[in-house]
Amino acid sequence: MTSGKHPFAEPPDADESEAPDYTPSADEDAFRVAPNSARRALTPRDIERNRHVKTLFDRIVPGLPIDADPPELRRDAEPFSAIIEKTLTRLKIDASPWLDELAGAWPSLVPPEIARVARPGKWDNGILYVYVANSVKLFELRRTQLKRIEQAVRAFAGDDRVKQVRLLVDAVPLPFAQG
């Protein structure tokens, strides 16, 4: 078996009288955002960051370390809803804002006994999927209330938007569902 180099061994030509230099050799270019193969053009946010890099290096005190996350370079917080909307747009996923409106108006559209065990789930190609708490409730709603749910949804969204309402057992149980 061959022995490898010890991970902490000094190179053989290192001069022990010379102390190692641990000062960071960072310059403005290390903190700037530059175009590359993944990002061909800088966004306005990147341009603003590059402007703040100049401010950061104007304030550096010689001999003190550079803050790895200086306040000048931190991005403002962005709400998750905005990030999700940008991602959906970038992926060309058609989000339906009327579905959120339907979910908000759901308790007033359907009777309370339905609203307790069912909720609008997703809308795909003219079909509204309504999630029901369990299979027993699904069977009851399908037999007795499906026409009423379809009428209420069509009155809310319009006949051209919702062609059919389908009931599915919800994979995530409703917190307010009562068995």
Cβ contacts of 41 within 8 Å, gap of 6 or more: 35
Whether residue 104 sits in one domain with residue 66? no
Tell which of 16, 47, 76 closes a domain: 76
Q: How many domains does the chain have?
A: 2
At which residue do the structure tokens 């149980």 appear? 173
* Residue 70 located in a structural domain: yes
Q: What is the pLDDT of residue 8?
A: 62
Residue 10 is predicted with a pLDDT of: 63
Residues 68 and 102 in one domain: no
Supply 15's token pair: 């001069």
pLDDT in tens, the chain (179 residues): 556 666 666 666 655 556 555 555 567 777 788 888 877 888 888 888 888 887 777 777 777 777 766 776 677 788 887 788 788 778 877 666 778 888 899 999 999 999 999 999 888 878 899 999 999 999 999 999 999 999 999 888 877 788 899 999 987 665 655 54
Clarify whether residues 101 and 159 are in a common domain: yes
Residue 125 structural domain:
97-169
> Do residues 156 and 109 touch, judged by C-beta distance below 8 A?
yes
What CATH number does the domain containing 148 carry? 3.30.300
